[in-house]
Amino acid sequence: MNSRGVTREKEKMILVSFHVPRSYVETLDDLVKMGLYPSRSEAIRAALRELLSKYSDMAK
């Protein structure tokens, strides 16, 4: 895994469904419209990578 949390081989994705406030979705859509992320899913994956990287030592 590199510093951005990307593995050399494509890791299989699983579907995770959860509820978030409408304002979160609107903000995600704004980030996508600004071109910062190609999709809501990628923005959420980036946020999860950052969170998991921050707390990875505690999770083991």
| 10-22 residue pLDDT tens | 889 999 999 999 9
Match 């994956």 to its residue by tokens.
Answer: 45
Averaged pLDDT, 24-34 = 98
Handedness of CA 51, 22, 15, 8 (dihedral sign): negative
Q: How many domains does the chain have?
A: 1
**CA 57 from centre of chain:** 19
The pTM for the full model equals: 0.75
Q: Classify residue 15: in a domain, yes or no.
A: no
Q: Classify residue 51: in a domain, yes or no.
A: yes
Q: Classify residue 49: in a domain, yes or no.
A: yes
Assess whether pLDDT exceeds 70 at residue 4: no
Q: Classify residue 54: in a domain, yes or no.
A: yes
Assess whether pLDDT exceeds 80 at residue 27: yes
Q: Classify residue 34: in a domain, yes or no.
A: yes
Assess whether pLDDT exceeds 60 at residue 5: no
Q: Give 7-10's long-range contacts (Cβ < 8 A, gap of 24+).
A: none
Q: Classify residue 41: in a domain, yes or no.
A: yes
Assess whether pLDDT exceeds 90 at residue 39: yes
pLDDT score recorded for residue 56: 86
